[in-house]
Amino acid sequence: RRLAVEHVLGMLAAGDTIETLLEGYPWLEREDVLACLAYAYRLVAHERVEPLLVETQQ
C-alpha cells in the first residue's frame, strides 16, 4: 500500500498525531511517518530566507 508523503505531512500539519495516523492507516509504521518528516527536512534544510530590503521614499 502507498500513502503520499504530502498526505502524511498535511495530516501532521493539521494537528494529527503520529498515533492518529497509525490508527487510521494500520499498515503504516511509525518509521514511515518519521521518514516523511526526514524527507521534508532534507527538502528545506538548505533553504535560506533573506530579507528583501526596499528603499522607501519619504
Distance between CA atoms of 22 and 19, rounded to whole angstroms?
5
**What residues contact residue 23 under an 8 Å CB cut-off, 6+ apart?**
none
pTM above 0.85, yes or no: no
Q: What pLDDT is stored for residue 50 in this prediction?
A: 85
Q: What pLDDT is stored for residue 49 in this prediction?
A: 83
CA 47 to each of CA 35, 38, 44: distance values in angstroms, whole numbers, following the listed order: 20, 15, 5
For 15-55, the pLDDT digits (tens) are 999 999 999 999 999 999 999 999 999 999 988 888 888 88
All three cell numbers of 43: 527538502
Q: Are 20 and 33 in contact (CB under 8 A)?
A: no
